Amino acid sequence: MMLAVRRADVTDLNDTTRERLLTAGRLGPDALTTGGGDRQREYRTGDRVLVTANDHRLGLLNGIRAAVTAVDPDGER
């Protein structure tokens, strides 16, 4: 478990953890990048995600946790 008080510390912990997971081969080689600027995010197979807004059309509810099972780096899927 990791705990942090400041957002900057959370960001540092997340970045370090992702680097270690990628180096250990626990995240897929292909990445899908979304957003821009400060909201840019990279997703890889094996990432864990948290839904932060309801999308009833897709059956997603705020607070649901999921794992990325596949990534199309061309963004076509």
pLDDT at residue 75 in the model: 67
**2 and 43 Cβ atoms separated by less than 8 Å:** no
Q: Is the dihedral of CA 66, 72, 73, 77 positive or negative?
A: negative
Candidates 31, 63, 64, 23; CA nearest to 47 is 31
User: Confidence class of residue 74 from pLDDT cuts 50, 70 and 90?
Assistant: confident
| pTM confidence score | 0.76
Interior CA angle at 19 toward 12 and 63, to 5°?
Answer: 65
Domains of the chain: total = 1
Q: What is the chain's mean pLDDT, rounded?
A: 91
With a cut of 70, say whether residue 77 has pLDDT above it. no
54 in any annotated domain: yes
